[in-house]
Amino acid sequence: MPALTRAEAHTRAHLLDVRQYTIDLDLTRGEEVFGSTTTVRFTTREAGDTFVEVRPHTLHRAVLDGHDLDTAALAEGRLPLTGLTAGDHELRVEADMAYSRTGEGMHRFTDPADGRTYLYTMCFQTEAPRVFAAFDQPDLKAPFTVTVTAPEEWTVLGNGTAQRVDGAPGRWKCATTPPLSTYFVAVAAGPWHTVRTEHAGIPFGLHVRRSLAPHLDTDATEILDITRACFDRYHRIFDEPYPFDSYDQAFVPEFNAGAMENPGLVTLRDEFIHRSAVTETQRQSRGMVIAHEMAHMWFGDLVTLRWWDDIWLNESFAEYMGFQVLADATRFTDTWTDFAVNRKSWGYDADQRPSTHPVAPEPDAVPDTATALLNFDGISYAKGASALRQLVTWLGEKAFLAGVNDHFARHRFGNATLADFVDSLTRASGRDVHAWADRWLRTTGVDTLAHRNTTDEDAHRWNLEITHTGNRPHRIAVTPYDLAADGSGALVPRDPLEIDVAADDDRHTLTADGPRPDLVLLNDRDLTYAKIRLDETSRRTARHHLSALPTPIARATVWNALRDTVRDGELPPAEYLDTARDNLPHETDNAIAAGVLGFARNELADRYLAPQRRTAALETITHTARALLENTPSGGRDGGGGARLTAVRTLIDSTTDPRELRAWWDTETLPGEQPLDHELRWRLLHRLAALGAAGPDDIDTALDADPSATGTEGAARCRAALPDPEAKEAAWQAVFDEADTLSTYGLVATLQGFWHPEQRDLLRDYVPRYFEQAPALAARRGEAVAQALTHYGFPRPFTDPDTLTAGERCLAAPDLTAALRRGLTDALDDLARALRVREAH
């Protein structure tokens, strides 16, 4: 199906006004297809031609204004509508649609735990025509009425409240919605386990497959408490009340995204319903996703982008509000620390690759939907949210929210652009937000703020010189810290300095009272988006006293500075590891501990250090994890804030002695007396399999004990990890077999198990096979599989020039899909960066 171009969408929006969709789905036609009948009423402003998108298994009939259309005219998902006269029209399309195994369109899943089947839609961006015929672009909004026929024992959920139809077993009708974009239409059907309540006169529901019922029941109180708290907070800060008739959250299987903001029926990946022990950081992340998707009910659903160049209007806003509202309304008050460590680095990394783009690209930079899909990345989410946080710092929260409310009032149930949003902010604040937006949202790359400190001759005053590389203005806090006079190693803050660094100011200087501090932290509180460089004195202090910084956000800012300095080849990876060894055992914030250990394990040990230095690096990481475990008391909501669980996970992933790992497996006793639950059992077995200390019988026994979807994926991951030529070839064939029987989740699990640095000799011949076979698989199976191939399938253990050369040769092919080309570009850039770091040290 060809990508819809911006020009085509503009032409069609000028021609049409869509009045109403009526959709009838029949989910009782077997395991391969479902019935879809669409009636769409629309008005043409003048005579003309257009097309409707539909991607059927079989197109049975299409009727326009009572006259049958030639179904053979359907080509590449487009059915021509020619000779339209000005005035009202009705189009009816009857088709059988194919179920999906890749999480796009109508996804069908049969739970291996109990054999029950569940269906849900993912209509995002271009996938609605896999479910119903549509004028599929965001600025042709219309009300939707959906009816569904399903097996009698099933429950059906939709954007509007769904009710059984009296006298018609298995028949459901959803309440007609307000005007929606086509990509928001949602249906979920199956024998769901449901927890319901009501809040502020709105019905709330939580839904999972039956095999997860006990785990939802355990978590339902927390999830609903967060949902109610965020709902109330949004009603305090937004003038527009919640604009839909219900609020359901369906935790669905094999979901590609974290969640999808379908109005009234948010779909979330069901990994958020925890089967095993989790950290407070993981619970906070789930809460942030809940808050993020709820923000979309206003920003995205009530007011929708006009075209996909403005996806940041949806995602950056929801990302910012998700972290801020969760901090304001719930017990998770340190959300911005997690953002700094685990989300912001996503934006920094994406913004330094060749594929970078502005937060808000120029209109001609997003000419079609295929290009737009690539921009759902760390820039549109993390960088955009960082930019908004800096905007709030500059405008003040009151003026910012006043502008947001003005935007909602002017464009409710309509579409809007960046210019519209900035106009509202300018009216509310009286400031030139357009100039700010040009600097922040229309540019690419990461600014760098560095500093140098000197002391006056009389030692009673010190001088700070900030060097600014970049083109954006920054409002930052700068905090000087002194080592405590009592020799305890504590870092004592002085009063922070509030500084404005102008866009064209490459050097900013000031003088302050007192001797030169032991550590100066630019961007304390992490209020702007820029790489930070520590001066030599500050870096030496951080080397031994980083854990003594009094606030988690300050520590996160320093860890990010060290991470960026490693990635830029300016700090030896070994020094980062030594800093972690000396400081991380005293860390009290799990988001920081998990982020630092994850970077050390996955980037430093596996990529930035040469293979012969890997074992020593893993020993340092395991030493650090053991010390963190020993220093963190048990107890509390999740056993030491999660640091103990983070330490145990790191020990499993990093321990190189298979005898020690096998002893943990055989005795079912982990360090720190951590219970060996489902998640840790599969993690441990995966590591054992990769090291050759577990075999097929162990995997079969584990799967017998946990025959769930998670267990099935865990078994596939472990089988692919076995250091056996036959096991590797079987895993490879499962991924690249043209029968395409693997779901996206099954494919991801197999790829996660395949590549291991310990198995380089066994895997070497698969590197050229990857570059030969990945393009065809991506073209055959679509964007989700293409993303999995480059994110999980890229041969990361082979960080060498030969792999780079082979990848660049593959990238030069003219017929790569856009998603594979983007993912491969990023993976090769990361590889080249790792080689530069190795060369530097």
Edge-to-edge strand list for the sheet holding 187-190: 105-110, 117-122, 187-190, 155-158
In 45-170, which ranges are E strands? 48-53, 58-64, 67-68, 78-84, 87-98, 105-110, 117-122, 144-149, 155-158, 162-164
Give DSSP secondary structure letters for 828-839.
HHHHHHHHHHHH
Query: Residue holding tokens 């069908």?
Result: 108
Are residues 110 and 705 in contact, defined by beta-carbon separation less than 8 angstroms? Answer: no
Contacts of 577 (CB under 8 A, 6+ apart): 600, 604, 617, 620, 621
SS3 state at 220:
helix
Q: Which residue shows structure tokens 């993976």?
A: 827
Q: What residues form DSSP beta bridges with 203?
A: 198
Q: Which residues contact 237 (CB under 8 A, 6 or more apart)?
A: 325, 401
**CA nearest neighbour of 714 among 752, 757, 664, 677:** 752
**268 CB-side CA count, 13 A:** 26
Cβ distance 539 to 566 under 8 Å? no
Query: Judging by DSSP bridges, how do beta strands 474-483 and 491-493 pair with one another?
Result: antiparallel
481: tokens are 């810290």
Q: Which of 53, 293, 315, 679 is catalytic?
A: 293
Q: Environment class of residue 723 by beta-carbon count within 10 Å: exposed (0-12), middle (13-18) or buried (19+)?
A: middle
Instruction: Give the SS3 label for residue 423.
Output: helix
CA–CA distance, 215 with 231 (Å, rounded to integer): 24
Residue pair 71/62 in contact (Cβ under 8 Å)? The answer is yes
- The C-alpha atoms of residue 781 and residue 820 are separated, in whole angstroms, by 11
Integer-rounded Cα Rg, in Å, for the chain is 27
DSSP 7-70: HHHHHHHHHEEEEEEEEEEE--S-SSEEEEEEEEEEEESSSEEEEEE---SEEEEEEETTEE--
Q: What is the three-state SS of 436-463?
A: HHHHHHCCCCCCEEEEEEEECCCCCEEE
Residue pair 773/751 in contact (Cβ under 8 Å)? The answer is: no
Indicate the helix (H) or strand (E) that contains 280.
Answer: helix 280-296
What span, in angstroms and rounded, lies between the C-alpha atoms of 436 and 766? Answer: 49
Rounded to whole angstroms, how far apart are CA atoms 265 and 185? 9
**Type of residue numbered 806:** A
Instruction: For the chain, give percent helix, strand, coil, nearest 5.
Output: 50, 20, 30
Residue 8 among the catalytic residues: no
Residue 406: both structure tokens together: 């003005």
CA distances from 357 to 146, 388, 419, 625, 808 (A): 38, 17, 18, 37, 21
Look-up of token digits 């008050």: 333
Number of H helices, E strands in the chain: 28, 29
Torsion of CA 322, 312, 297, 170, to 10 degrees: -110
CB–CB of 118/112 below 8 Å?
no
Neighbours of 791 (CB within 10 A): 14
**Catalytic residue numbers?**
293
